[in-house]
Structure 1
Amino acid sequence: MSAPYQHMVLDYYVAHLRKKQEARSAELASLRDAHAAKAYQDWIKIAIDEAFAALPADKQPLSLQCTGSLPCDGYRLEKLLFESRPGFFVSALLYVPDEAKSGKVPAVLAPCGHAYVGKASEVYQGFAQRLAKNGFMVLAYDPIHQGERDQYVLMKDEPKEDVPGLCGAHNYMGKQLELCGDNFACWRVHDGQVALSVLLQREEVERRHVGVTGNSGGGTLSHWLWALDRRLTMAAPSCHLTTLLSDLENELPRDVEQYPLGLLAPGLELIDLMLIRAPAPAIMLGQRYDAFERRGFYEAWEEMERFYKLLGAEEKASMYMDCSTHGYSVGNQNAMVEFFCGVVGKEPRKVEVNPLPEEKTWVCPEGKVMLQSGAKSISELTLQKAQELAAERDSWTLEEMAQKLTELLQLPERVGLAHYRIPRPRFYQINGKEQVWARYAVETEEPGVRAIIHKNVRLPEHYYTLDVDKRVCIYLPDIASSWDIEKNSYLQELTEKEEVYAIDLRGLGESRPDDGSNGNEKEFLYDYGMDYMMHGYGLMLKQSYLGRRVFDLLRCIDLLAEEGGQQFILHGRGQGAVIAAFAALLEPRISKVILVDSPASFMEWIEDPLSRWPSAMHLYGVLKYFDLPDIIEALDLRVEVHSNWNSRRRRS
């Protein structure tokens, strides 16, 4: 079946962001002098500090060692290995220019973009060499799961189809951290801050001139580091800056580290994390044909240019747009070098670059930090944190647990009764017999959110009315009610016994944003898909996407109760099982809940680094307080576990 409300959730978020950005634009336009601009920066700082509150305070490297060096034309290459957290190794290349032999030199931190080979990428070697041959000391390091920092290298026996690609792996790591109340953006930034400490330990570095530059994911890292670390004095992020509203409208997901917690809630935009550092020198680098499209880029630049003018520093802000596609092109590299040279008072030189073979850039003997003695993966460290949280948790009464769950789900107040529409019924052929399912579109939240109820009505005269008995049987599918109506034996057996209200909550079933073929979950579960993206925007808006699904269900129950329902029995399958358990904890009118293909625990999703449960099911910070078995225990006789799925979404 198709998804006729496919753009519903997207349009809901677009409307929210447009409203916030209208207010933000008006605020920026009202700024008239440097005093007002600085007050705006104070507001930005509060929001940024909250978004990155999970950052560790200690930025010093552990076990810093040089594993080798190579003499090169115009510079020396040192191979460095250090730990940003105990057992969490970071591999890096330090480009030491010949000028460092006779005095202090400017320096640049170079986080890599999303390249599998990380710092060994010919493009990233290219910009580092250009800087080194212009007299800059450069530290290029591998971000998590890139280059020598493959976090899955020891998982050789895993089925190929279960192992995500680079960006997908970041999202897997991110969703597991979220359960613990942490986020991947902070892990990436912390690595960068520790790498900056390594760079600044060098006596040859002129601390008045320390820059940061990177492309794509490295552009994001450059941007975050620039906003958060005052040790940096100049910046040149490439192929990253646009607007988050533009990305949303264009249905363009980003990595989980590019969705900082709560960033959009107060009304910030990406460029605000550049404005926070004004009037320090910075250049925006873009590409005319980038997916991070140019309209958002130019909009951001206009705001940055005007802001610097308010501070009397328009000459310190610059922009360069190359005429290529996504990537750190030679044009962007040269623009960056020229800008940094201008800041430090150097005459830029056009130079030849000679990237080394990947093996020659290896810091570790086999090019894998996870083979180092004592090495720990991010998955191991996340599991360690989850176990610590479990050991520290208090016991909760059902009422206390319900209150905390309400906070975690960020549930809005339920005001009034939801209006509903009655679209045309749908006809199915089930086991050779025709079934008619009435449909009700319940308007759970403005603007435009609807939960779609499907009901296997027995009488033709009830196709276009909502008639509710005292006993109400509700079914929550894993992904789509229509899929389960046609193919799931559990639901089919249920419908033979009684009328069932199968509900597609927002982003599921008829409003799922990725409309795959009937029963094909691959598109929906894609680790870089639209369901993942909606979850990311929910995080940034402080509107739990999972919480809003629970809210939809509670609004439907309110409506059905008003129409005559008194006893509510809830059946939830897969994702629906988690939502059903949450709802039963919050809603005393639910007398019984049956969990079908339910996860055994959220901890199980962390124990397996390759857990396939969707990001949207990972409730931020839940493991600080309780796990799914704790909820089941609190529900006592009201809950029945029919069957479990494991971390790979397969029957246990």
Structure 2
Amino acid sequence: MTSSFSASYLMKHFIAIAVLLCFFVAVFAPVIASAEDVRHQPLKDLNGYFPFHPPESLEQWEQRKEQVRRRVLVATGLWPMPTKTPLNPVVHGKIQRDGYTVEKVYFESAPGFFVTGNLYRPTHIQGKVPGVMLAHGHRKDARLDMTPESTLRSQIADGAERFERAGRSTYQSQCRQLALMGCVVWQWDMLGDSDSIQLSRELVHKFAKQRPEMNKTKDWGLFSPQAEAHCQNVMGLQTLNAVRGLDFLLSLPEVDPQRVAVTGASGGGTQAMVLAAIDDRIKLSFPVVMVSTAMQGGCTCENASLLRVNTGNVEFAALAAPRPQGMNTANDWTKEMATKGFPELQQLYAAYGKQHDVFLKRGEHFPHNYNAVTRSAFYTFLNKHFKLGSQAPVIEHDFDPLPPEQLTVWDDQHPAPKAADPEFERNLLAWLNEDAERQLRDAAATPEGLRDVILPAVEVTIGRTYANAGDVTWELKDEHDHGDYVKRTGTLLNKTYGEEVNVVWLCPKQPSGRLVLWLDDHGKAAVCSDDGSVNPEVQKLVQAGAAVVGADLFLQRGEAVKQARVVGNPREFAGYTFGYNHALFAQRTHDVLSIVRFLRHADGVPCENPVKTIAVTGWHGSGPIVAAAGALAGDAIDRTAIDTQGVRFGHLLDYRDPMFLPGGAKYLDLPGLIALHAPHPLWLAGEGSQPALISAAYHDASQVDGLVTFAGEAAKQQAAASEWLLK
């Protein structure tokens, strides 16, 4: 009796538990499924892990190298390079020292934008001599600062420094030693530091809160959504100064262009690494305490939207290969470099047959530094590769450094510009924007310019191309016969990137070979709702034999996303999020590319008929997304129909807006994306009857008839587009 009762009791509870499990699965299965998409994971930030994976061949590396270099240039606002206006250098106040001279210099990297620093030269120069660019870090008033005596004595006791006099100014020590070795040295200021006063240190290095007065669609300032949409950032301005500084150094007749080096520590290490990455005129680099698979640089001047998406500092350093390059470790984020990052750099250099031209100075027993030990390693490395003839290892000697007042650039005869001037900031960004727009409009005037200048930049802003859209497979979830068509629902799985897209297929039983991807802010519900009703215009397409696909792009199902996610950093700087992660707009564009890639490359699509033509439509907020996907997909999409609603990336006033796209406004905004569709047939609403840039692109491609613009009532758009799609 007891045994029978127990069995009955257990069975009842088992059934109850099973019912609850079924209910749980039915209710939460969609959530569980969507959570498998890697894009639901926490966002990456500057403290993530950034390994470098050398390609299997140099041919693969050269392709990857071009992609990463272009990413750096786009992210820093240097694609295209701002017009190189006259430097107008002023060199004054020469100071004669024992074996070398020191001069004060300022020049204009852009009109009215001054770069300041000191120029060190050997006293007796014969023939061509090496040039060295020295970037300083984030220490306040770095070029002009003197180390406090108590700090210096501790450094001497620890073996980091050697001299009580020379150690007071490590920058002067380094410049002096290099000049005595026969080098011309340009040591310049980072923005907001020492004599660089036009932008404040608080803005450049400590920005924390958005400034409403600078957040405008015209006359905007740094860190605003408009600046980010135009790839204007502090890191870009500093990198421009570095490029123009290299121009200045090479303008000196005594400098040998085949022996030019760059070095710097911390923030200066970032500048050294990036300059060597983008400018082949640098023949040797030595970035200090910055090359790492760990923390990538915490300052606002070391980050930029788009910069480190799917890449990082070790790969930036790799861009300098096979040119000689040294680096170091310290008891900071670089401490694991000997086992994480440097072996991969050695592997890359070995592929070039230059395995001995990359060097790591171990120093994990020292804190973050560019101390006498590390400086000696740089001198010795430079001495070897530039054949300077100094005795190795090269070490410094003691001397009396110059006081700050003798190094400063500004004086009564050379008055300083206005400090921290908001009007200067606005005017500088306005000049950069006007200069870039002029260059880009000239490029867009030809099919070649669209292909070679605009398209490569769009590939960076979206972060994916059609060619690398991924390996996509199909998983059927449900199927229903509706008489003249079959409805199938399921998920497309992008196995390359770990992404998912839920889709619905309406497959006519008398197929014409046409397929229409119908995209809308409401996701696949815009094709057919949960109650089974079908969009009337979609119904017309299906009745005409066209298969129709609807999709929930990333985070599109359910309640609309009001704000895109950002990282936990409390400072309101878009680069801390979008320097490491794709924008939501880009992620949704990836989904469109995944769907098209599947349609073109799958062995068989769910409608079980060969797809002859693919058309993509985009309605409401999905119109700009389809515009971006079509710009990248090229011949993979036969026809496109979109309503842009006149959206402009440059009009967004919040970098957390779901439509925000870093760099989206720079490359002629949405019309620039749409112009890339030429010569493929395009039905376009939301841009007026004669959108000049787009019309010109179709004219230049000899496909004037390929562009159909619609300026009628919004309620009639989809009907007109459906009619066009069926022609």
Shorter-chain TM-score above 0.5:
yes
SS of 1:275's partner is coil
1:94 aligns with 2:118: yes
Identify the match of residue 428 of structure 2 among 362, 365, 377: 377
Identify if the C-alpha distance between structure 1 residues 561 and 623 changes in structure 2 by more than 3 Å, giving closer, same or farther: farther
In the TM superposition, 1:514-533 aligns within 5 A as 521=564, 523=566, 527-533=574-580
Distance 1:413 1:135 in 2: 46
Alignment pair present for 1:298 and 2:342 = yes
Displacement, 1:139? 1.5
For 1:600 and 1:239, locate their aligned partners in 2 and report how far apart those are by CA, in whole Å.
44
In the TM superposition, residue 290 of structure 1 has moved relative to its aligned partner by 0.9
In the TM superposition, what whole-angstrom CA distance separates every residue of 1:14-39 from its partner, at most 9, and x where no partner exists?
xxx99994642xx47xxxxxxxxxx9
**SS where residue 318 of structure 1 aligns?**
strand
Q: Tell me how far apart the structure 1 counterparts of residues 61 and 421 of structure 2 sit (CA, whole Å).
A: 41
Q: 1:169-204 deviations in whole A, cap 9, x for unaligned?
A: 4997575159xxxx9999765543431342345567
Aligned amino acid, residue 90 of structure 2 = Q
What are structure 2's unaligned runs of at least 5 residues? 1-30, 148-166, 217-221, 460-464, 479-487, 509-515, 536-548, 676-683, 688-706, 716-727
Task: Indicate whether 1:419 and 2:450 are aligned.
Answer: no
1:35 maps to: none
Residues 50/288 of structure 1: CA separation in 2 closer, same or farther (3 Å cut): same
Matching residue within 113, 126, 129 for 2:172: 129
For 2:359, the aligned partner's letter is: S
Does residue 138 (structure 1) correspond to residue 185 (structure 2)? The answer is yes
Within 5 A, what are the aligned runs for 1:431-580? 441-444=491-494, 446-452=496-502, 475-476=520-521, 505-506=553-554, 508=555, 521=564, 523=566, 527-535=574-582, 547-552=589-594, 554=596, 562=607, 571-573=619-621, 576-580=622-626
Q: What is the CA-CA distance between 1:467 and the residue it aligns to? A: 8.0
Q: Which residue of 2 aligns with 1:4?
A: 35
| Distance in 2, Cα, partners of 1:193 & 1:307 | 29
CA contact (8 A) 1:304 1:317 kept: no
Determine the C-alpha separation between the residues in 1 that align with 2:713 and 2:69. 43
Q: Which amino acid in structure 1 is aligned with residue 686 of structure 2?
A: I
Which amino acid in 2 is paired with 1:236? F
* 1:25-40 pair list within 5 angstroms: 27=57
CA distance 1:340–1:567, shift in 2 (3 Å): closer
1:241 pairs with 2:291? yes
1:527-550 Cα offsets, whole Å, 9 max, x none, are 1345542449x9xxxxx8675243
Calculate the TM-score normalised by the size of structure 2: 0.53
- Kindly indicate whether residue 200 of structure 2 is the aligned counterpart of residue 176 of structure 1: no
Q: Distance in 2 between matches of 1:170 and 1:329?
A: 37
* Partner residue in 1 for 2:672: 626
Give the structure-1-normalised TM-score. 0.58
Alpha-carbon RMSD across the aligned residues, in angstroms, is 6.6
The one-character-per-residue Cα deviations of 1:304-334 (angstroms, maximum 9, x if unpaired) are 77568x45x84x6532133256664565345
Question: Which amino acid counterpart does residue 632 of structure 1 have in structure 2?
Answer: G
**Structure 1 residues 219, 395: CA separation in 2 closer, same or farther (over 3 Å shift)?**
closer
Secondary structure of the residue aligned to 2:246 is: helix
Structure 2 residue 248 is matched with structure 1 residue 195: no
Q: Give 3-state SS (helix, strand or coil) of 1:302's partner.
A: helix
1-structure distance, mates of 2:112, 2:344: 36
Q: Secondary structure at the match of 2:35?
A: coil
Deviation of the 1:93 alpha carbon? 0.9
1:283 paired to 2:326: yes
Query: Structure 2: which amino acid aligns with 1:159?
Result: P
Q: Is the 8 A contact 2:654 2:660 kept in 1?
A: no
Given the superposition, is the C-alpha separation of residues 177 and 18 from structure 1 closer, same or farther in structure 2, using an over 3 Å criterion? closer
Corresponding position: 1:150 with 2:175 = no
Aligned letter for 1:238?
A: V
Q: In structure 2, do the counterparts of structure 1 residues 201 and 23 end up closer, same or farther at CA, with 3 Å as the change threshold?
A: closer
Alpha-carbon contact 1:247-1:292 (below 8 Å) kept: no
1:607-644: CA deviation from partner (whole Å, max 9, x where unpaired) = x99997634572884559736798733664489779xx
Q: Is the 8 A contact 1:238 1:285 kept in 2?
A: yes
Q: Which of the residues 193, 207, 212 maps onto 1:159?
A: 212
1:460: which partner in 2? none
Q: Is the 8 A contact 1:110 1:213 kept in 2?
A: yes
SS in 2 for 1:213: strand
Partner SS, residue 432 of structure 2: helix
1:377 Cα shift? 1.5
Matched, 1:211 2:261: yes
Q: Is the 8 A contact 1:394 1:625 kept in 2?
A: no
Q: Secondary structure at 1:194's aligned position in 2?
A: helix
- For 2:275 and 2:283, locate their aligned partners in 1 and report how far apart those are by CA, in whole Å: 11
Tell me if structure 2 keeps the 8 A contact 1:66–1:81: yes
Give me the whole-angstrom Cα distance separating, in 2, the residues matched to 1:175 and 1:329: 39
The alpha-carbon distance between structure 1 residues 9 and 526, as it changes in their structure 2 partners (threshold 3 A), is farther
- Paired with 1:395 and 1:43, the residues of 2 have a C-alpha distance of 25
Deviation, structure 1 residue 46: 7.6
Instruction: Note if contact 1:149-1:368 (Cα within 8 Å) is conserved in structure 2.
Output: yes
2:231 and 2:662 in contact (8 A); partners too: no
Alpha-carbon separation, structure 1, partners of 2:395 and 2:282: 21
CA-to-aligned-CA distance 1:474-510 (integer Å, 9 cap, x gap): 5437xxx9xxx9xxxxx9xx9999789996535x569
SS of structure 2 residue aligned to 1:385: helix
**C-alpha distance in 1 between matches for 2:550 and 2:405:** 57
Judging changes above 3 Å, is the alpha-carbon distance between structure 1 residues 533 and 377 closer, same or farther for their aligned structure 2 residues?
Answer: same
1:365 maps to which residue? 416
Deviations 1:230-250 (A, max 9, x none): 66554311234346xx889xx
Residues 1:439 and 1:292: Cα distance change in structure 2 (over 3 Å): farther
Q: Helix, strand or coil for the counterpart of 2:341? A: helix
8 Å CA contact retained: 2:273, 2:317:
no
Seq. identity, %: 14
User: 2:378 maps to which residue?
Assistant: 336
Unpaired runs of at least 5, structure 1: 29-38, 424-437, 454-465, 486-490, 511-516, 539-543, 643-652
Q: Which has the higher contact order (CA 8 A, sep 6+)?
A: 1
3-state SS of 1:133 partner = helix
Cα 1:208–1:238 change in 2 (3 A) is: same
Asked if 1:110 corresponds to 2:134, the answer is yes
Q: Equivalent residue of 2:172, what SS?
A: helix
Q: For the structure 1 residues 169 and 262, does the alpha-carbon distance in structure 2 shift closer, same or farther, using more than 3 Å as the test?
A: same
Is this contact kept in 1: 2:289–2:369, CA < 8 A?
yes
Q: CA deviation at 1:134?
A: 2.0
Q: CA offsets, 1:386-439, max 9 Å, x none?
A: 25644885599xxx99xx98995633499998513659xxxxxxxxxxxxxx99
Structure 1 residues 373, 622: closer, same or farther in 2, change over 3 A?
Answer: closer
